[in-house]
Amino acid sequence: MYRIGQLAKLAGVTPDTVRYYEKQKMMDHEVRTEGGYRLYTDHDLQRLRFIRYAKQLGFTLESIRELLSIRVDPYASYLSRIEIDR
């Protein structure tokens, strides 16, 4: 488990960036210590690195959010496209 500063450093971003992505619903975050500190997992680190890499490639935050939803549920995007096509 990582605290926000550790996570940010490993991902090459700032703690404020992590908080921003949380507000933008791009990072799920539920775990806190008794003292109220955020705790993150390796999965969170991978997700944050993915966001950073996608940003470097020029993707918008909206596009990254959609890519993340596909990673979580690969059929969600496909099913939504079927509904649109009808």
How many H helices and E strands in the chain?
5, 2
Angle (nearest 5°) at CA 10 between 56 and 65: 45
Instruction: List, in order of start, the domains of the chain with CATH numbers.
Output: 2-85 (1.10.1660.10)
DSSP structural state of residue 38: B
- Is the confidence at residue 85, as pLDDT, over 50? no
In this predicted structure, the answer to whether residue 65 has a pLDDT above a threshold of 70 is: yes
Segment 7-43, tens digit of pLDDT: 999 999 999 999 999 999 898 777 888 888 889 999 9
Residue 70 DSSP SS3: helix
Residue 2: pLDDT band (50, 70, 90) is: very high
Which 3 state secondary structure label does DSSP give 4? helix
Please, which pLDDT band fits residue 71 given cuts at 50, 70 and 90? low
